[in-house]
Amino acid sequence: MSLEDAQNEVDVAFTRDEMKGLAFENTFAGATSFLRRRYTKDLTHADIAVTGIPFDQAVTNRPGTRLGPRAIREASALQTPEPPYGWDYDVMSTFAIADYGDMAFDYAAPVEIRDRIERHIAGILAQDCAVVTLGGDHSITLPILRAHVAKHGPLALIQFDAHTDSWENPDPTRVDHGTFVYTAVEEGLIDTAHSVQIGIRTVNEDTLGITVIDAPEVHDIGPNAVVERIKSVVGDAQAYLTFDIDGLDPAFAPGTGTPVWGGLTSAQAAAILRGLKGTIIVGGDIVEVSPPFDPTGATAIAGAHVAVEILSLWGYTRR
């Protein structure tokens, strides 16, 4: 970074010409797009887009994740002057990344939300552009998966979470953040034989055929062994990665709706995510960041890092 860069860059979310490259404007100033990428609805020259789904009306406990996309974008400004640590390439300089902004919807019509999300994500994918989504509660992942499966076919699921989110949901009209996996399996969206859930620490006896690496096992065998298990399960299958921030212990991510003690440390999550390089990731999301319960901003910072790791994983096999 040169002094000239720092003195002259401001609001690059609107003023930058090139979608690739680092950004050096003051982290505390300017328009906070994700990673200071350009805000645009024109994805003609974009390789991958970041979009927000600020919906949290499906939570079972504390709300507030509607404010997650905004907080994650702000926290991401801390990462823009340098390449992501722990990678042998810089996703920001290698790929054209756009911030597509948030999805518009009527907050008073939650029954319409799934169809609207599916159309929103499908519209991005139709532009020959991949997408990483900032949530929002975990109910948003079901329609996002539907859009991805329409393009790629059934996918392996890599899920970081305190909860399996696979509780039975016999009523398909219900919008619930704890049942998206059950419905996705019922619809044939998920290739269960190649799917894995990491960090689980709540009781749900029926795994639906998905491999579970619970939090105690992560602590016992360590990140490197976890990575090997995940890779052995997923193999060469195309995968969608969803990261519920409550997969982290509340000490590292207090700002979430359903915190559960005994979770992953941020260091464990970082090591596992980076260890997955080479896995074929077609898209992903980071969900359940709730700023009202995040007094220090630590949860949003973790969420921003997770999103960058998903971008880096997506790009690693496409360099």
Task: Determine the 3-state secondary structure of 97 from DSSP.
Answer: strand
Q: How many CA atoms lie within 13 A of 15 on its CB side?
A: 11
Fold of 3-316: Arginase; Chain A (3.40.800)
* CA-angle at 237, arms to 44 and 190, nearest 5°: 90
Output the tens digit of pLDDT for each of the chain's 319 residues.
455 676 789 999 999 999 999 999 999 999 999 999 999 999 999 999 999 999 999 999 999 999 999 999 999 999 999 999 999 999 999 999 999 999 999 999 999 999 999 999 999 999 999 999 999 999 999 999 999 999 999 999 999 999 999 989 888 788 888 899 999 999 999 999 999 999 999 999 999 999 999 999 999 999 999 999 999 999 999 999 999 999 999 999 999 999 999 999 999 999 999 999 999 999 999 999 999 999 999 999 999 999 999 999 999 999 9
**So where are the chain's domains?**
3-316
Two tokens, residue 184: 């996705």
- What pLDDT score was predicted for residue 176? 86
Using an 8 Å Cβ cutoff, are 246 and 259 in contact?
yes
The answer to the question of whether 56 is labelled as a binding residue is no
**What residues have CB less than 8 Å from 141, skipping those under 6 apart?**
135, 180, 184, 242, 285, 287
Sheet of 48-53, strand order: 38-39, 97-102, 48-53, 130-135, 281-287, 239-244, 156-160, 196-200, 211-214
The answer to the question of whether 163 is labelled as a binding residue is yes
The answer to the question of whether 194 is labelled as a binding residue is no
The answer to the question of whether 99 is labelled as a binding residue is no
- What pLDDT score was predicted for residue 7? 79
**What does residue 252 show for φ and ψ, rounded to 5 degrees?**
-105, -20
Instruction: Report the distance separating Cα 72 and Cα 53, nearest Å.
Output: 12
Look at the block and give the residue holding tokens 């000239």: 4
The helix (run of H) or strand (run of E) holding residue 64 is none
- What pLDDT score was predicted for residue 179? 93
The answer to the question of whether 138 is labelled as a binding residue is yes
The answer to the question of whether 219 is labelled as a binding residue is no
- What pLDDT score was predicted for residue 170? 81
Using an 8 Å Cβ cutoff, are 24 and 1 in contact?
yes
- For 222-230, which contacts have Cβ atoms below 8 Å and span 24 or more sequence positions? 223/268, 223/271, 223/272, 223/275, 224/271, 224/275, 226/198, 226/272, 226/275, 227/271, 227/272, 227/275, 227/276, 229/196, 230/158, 230/196, 230/198, 230/272, 230/276, 230/279
